Amino acid sequence: MQAVPDPEDRKFAALSAAADVPVVSSDSDLLDVRGVIGAVVLTPGEAAKKAGL
């Protein structure tokens, strides 16, 4: 999770990867490392669309 530039965000990425659930966030530090970390990161709009809302 060292690829996540904000140390405060690393716990969310790690929990997401461990639980195999996506992180839903508008935080650019997480969005900028999509595909690099072992967690799926979705914007709120992407999550709503995926949920069919």
Q: Could you tell me the residue ranges of all domains in the chain?
A: 7-50
Rounded to whole angstroms, how far apart are CA atoms 8 and 10?
A: 6
Can you read off the two tokens belonging to residue 27? 């935080």
Q: Residue 38: its pLDDT value, please?
A: 84
**Of 32 and 1, the one with more pLDDT:** 32
Q: Residue 35: its pLDDT value, please?
A: 86
Q: Residue 46: its pLDDT value, please?
A: 96
Q: What's this model's pTM, rounded to 2 decimal places?
A: 0.83
Rounded to whole angstroms, how far apart are CA atoms 40 and 52?
A: 18
